[in-house]
Structure 1
């Protein structure tokens, strides 16, 4: 387990190498990408063209099955009884700026499973239901805010021995460690709520983590299309949405799925499957997210499946050395969000996630948005750094490393103001 985690950290921190080679010889040279042929987004598996919205709805259902069978695994169709328990309400959080609520989501039929603990901030000044950004965090709710009264998570955490995690348990030094990724003040001042939960509440992020997560009771580990952790985290986002639909302070028709890195992959898969999400934001989601799998640049399908064998369906590994045989590619995943608004974002210091591949993934959704009379990106030109482009589909390539910054959030808030509110 430790070997996988250390490898993951090295990958995420790595940047471009001057000679065009990434970690252990992986390609960072655009001249070495080579040629590839993408599956035609508007031609189904029977070779029939997709010409109308009705055609797309039928083809969309088939694409979802193809992604479930070959990439993310089959999300169990079984409904799960939930119980929502509000554990805390602070009517004057963040110096009176917000109302803060903590809610636990229990699985009624599976009392052995821990709940999903959701942390929500609402604009205190709002007099009507508000739209909400819903995203999972990497280190517990205590890490997204410096507030001392947020309970320290007792769940499994990355890192066996460090300042912020001891024997895979959070320490007090973890409190507020990722405040920079969650500018709560900025979000609520703009009239939005923020809902977040620790992704480890749904499934701990290591190969055996499924033993204590939702996949221990749902799914079938013997099947090649058994869902992976990405699928479980996406499923968990929909269960949080189930709660948000019951909260009178939330406008349930304007819930935005957002995620960074591996959770960016989950946020897109959640938004593709669950059309209740009003919009989707994928921040540096890379391989298995917004980046085209067939592009030989940065992280590859093989490296992804080797470093993180628990994230995807077992069948996905069959394509490690034959990516061209995949029946789908990521532009088709992103197109499943249509006609809803979509934002894909990259960082120029995060070449491992393949910024151009992410841009192209967003670009190639255009034909589906056109079926709905909408313009997607509306450009084929890869933009300059810090120059957002697009219309119903947006994209930017920010300066900096693999992270979520205030710059990113400024773009997402503007995107939501224009397309979701």
Structure 2
């Protein structure tokens, strides 16, 4: 069949664009460095103690920069009032986008959401739920060689009397407890499967005859709940909440080699990013916002009470989503570290160099500039950042947010700098107080002691709690739900 010249040209262009996306993370980062005129980056530190470049864990050397950028002063030095805070918020959001996380382009294509499966399930101790798999197909007419399909599973209490609050959670979008066929249905499935296999391979008839009790299909065995607290999803349903699991990797890969694919690559049509283009954290937050779009149209969901949750890198993304999208009513931010709730300018644990090298794809290209001091122009480091994590938390104000950490002894490594996160939270509390909402404490952010492990700081809209578990926020879920009962699900 002969192709017309326009059709052939389209095929060749698509093939060339697809080939253009095949770069390594190192190649992509070097291309960005070239755009910025950067010739070298300061290497990241090691998380292993005893190495020449081990991360600092000495509090005496942790704060070489004695001040955090003040969210309550405009860039020109003028003080911020409650009346002028909206203008300062816009200013902070612009700088955080341009220099740290990247801007979401104006031409991001739309998403068409479709429910592809619905299942009535039972989780925990007999809690009936309705679970739906929802797929969001992104319009890729501008770059047909790049397909993006967002994956989300929505689980709501089956017996709710009205719209329920929902906590969106970053993770695999699996059904929690798929319903099982009854014994008669399993027998029918086995009979049909045996017949099909024998038709394809007749000698299997003798095999099945020798092993007549061997099931090709069987129901999942019943498992008694384990010791300790129920899993977070069971706690949510028991408290009258629903939840949505959204897979961030369905929007954007967690690797620099994927920046010319996924939603970032689709929007750029397979081309390299510009220095102020979004990174993966902002792309994952964008996916959460699109999931919120769908949830807000569900009459069984209270659109004014949709929260966002994540742990570790997804804790960073959850805080970014909450900060930049005011429709999210609350958040549970678990063990987020640098790039999340921990100050970038703290010399403790993970460094800016780690983010600018190994995890550069999380951030805007411009962020690389702040890892060049002593090795390349423009010669900047974390002290030159005009904003820090206290500003990111402040963008949420006065909406309620719960900052959660574990302890190093249980696996929430010192790398995350729990104390630094407390400092940023305490400084952001000044914004909460300005807007008439309480924070976790008062006092100087650099010197006020961190609360003891398992000591609640849950009396205000900005909440803090360090549990005695590891790299998870699960031990704080019941505390989050109790706190949210006052600040999210109470009378509005």
- Counterpart pick for 2:88 among 27, 39, 59: 59
What is the CA–CA distance in structure 1 between the aligned matches of 2:285 and 2:52, rounded to whole Å?
A: 29
| Conserved? CA contact 1:256–1:277, under 8 Å | yes
* Residue in structure 2 matched with residue 365 of structure 1 by the alignment: 428
What is the CA–CA distance in structure 2 between the aligned matches of 1:49 and 1:317, rounded to whole Å?
A: 30
**Unaligned runs of at least 5 residues, structure 2:** 1-23, 27-43, 181-222, 374-380, 444-448
* Residue in structure 2 matched with residue 72 of structure 1 by the alignment: 101
Greater mean alpha carbon deviation, residues 103-112 or residues 314-323? 103-112
Are 2:348 and 1:314 equivalent residues in the alignment? no
| Conserved? CA contact 2:455–2:466, under 8 Å | yes
User: Secondary structure of 1:266's partner?
Assistant: helix
User: Secondary structure of 2:260's partner?
Assistant: helix
Q: TM-score when scaled to structure 1?
A: 0.83
- The Cα offsets for residues 235-278 of structure 1, whole Å up to 9 and x where unpaired, read as 11100001001111110100111111111111111111110000
What is the CA–CA distance in structure 2 between the aligned matches of 1:210 and 1:378, rounded to whole Å?
A: 40
1:147 Cα offset (Å): 4.1
What is the CA–CA distance in structure 2 between the aligned matches of 1:14 and 1:97, rounded to whole Å?
A: 44
**CA distance change for structure 1 residues 267 and 22 in 2, over 3 Å: closer, same or farther?**
farther
* Residue in structure 2 matched with residue 275 of structure 1 by the alignment: 326
- Counterpart pick for 2:471 among 399, 402, 407: 402
Are 2:453 and 1:385 equivalent residues in the alignment? yes
| Conserved? CA contact 1:93–1:100, under 8 Å | no
Are 2:83 and 1:46 equivalent residues in the alignment? no
What is the CA–CA distance in structure 2 between the aligned matches of 1:209 and 1:304, rounded to whole Å?
A: 17
* Residue in structure 2 matched with residue 34 of structure 1 by the alignment: 63
**CA distance change for structure 1 residues 328 and 216 in 2, over 3 Å: closer, same or farther?**
same
**CA distance change for structure 1 residues 249 and 46 in 2, over 3 Å: closer, same or farther?**
same
* Residue in structure 2 matched with residue 6 of structure 1 by the alignment: none
| Conserved? CA contact 2:405–2:472, under 8 Å | no
* Residue in structure 2 matched with residue 420 of structure 1 by the alignment: 488
Aligned residue-pair number: 376
1:366 Cα offset (Å): 1.8
**Unaligned runs of at least 5 residues, structure 1:** 4-10, 150-175
What is the CA–CA distance in structure 2 between the aligned matches of 1:91 and 1:181, rounded to whole Å?
A: 20
1:83 Cα offset (Å): 1.5
What is the CA–CA distance in structure 2 between the aligned matches of 1:190 and 1:22, rounded to whole Å?
A: 47
**CA distance change for structure 1 residues 372 and 201 in 2, over 3 Å: closer, same or farther?**
same
1:401 Cα offset (Å): 2.4
* Residue in structure 1 matched with residue 15 of structure 2 by the alignment: none
* Residue in structure 2 matched with residue 116 of structure 1 by the alignment: 150
Are 2:170 and 1:141 equivalent residues in the alignment? no
**CA distance change for structure 1 residues 47 and 224 in 2, over 3 Å: closer, same or farther?**
same
1:109 Cα offset (Å): 4.4
What is the CA–CA distance in structure 2 between the aligned matches of 1:289 and 1:314, rounded to whole Å?
A: 17
What is the CA–CA distance in structure 1 between the aligned matches of 2:473 and 2:331, rounded to whole Å?
A: 15
| Conserved? CA contact 1:22–1:298, under 8 Å | no
**CA RMSD, 1 decimal:** 2.6
Structure 1 or 2, whichever has the larger Rg, is 2
What is the CA–CA distance in structure 2 between the aligned matches of 1:193 and 1:89, rounded to whole Å?
A: 15
1:362 Cα offset (Å): 0.8
**CA distance change for structure 1 residues 376 and 29 in 2, over 3 Å: closer, same or farther?**
same
